[in-house]
Amino acid sequence: NSEDVRCKCICPPYKDHSGHIYNKNVSQKDCDCLHVVEPMPVPGPDVEAYCLRCECKYEERSSVTIKVSGIILWA
């Protein structure tokens, strides 16, 4: 299920841009700043420096397990 995977990039402040968290459903191999950060907040020459500051992590979860756990806790 594509909703059960995502790439999360945490980008700290850079020059006059505030920090931001980006989430996107992409494959594990595409889990990087260039594929997840949209729109890119900095101009072309600053993209590499901006992306080097971002920390991107691939995350998987099981929505079925989460739903079942919620039902058990609610009961």
List, edge to edge, every strand of the sheet that includes 20-24: 20-24, 5-11, 55-60
Mean pLDDT in each 10-residue stretch from start to end of the chain (75 residues)? 80 96 94 97 96 96 67 71
Q: Which domain holds residue 30?
A: 5-73
d(CA 64, CA 73): 14
Number of domains forming the structure of the chain: 1
- For position 2, what pLDDT does the model report? 46
pLDDT recorded at residue 42? 96
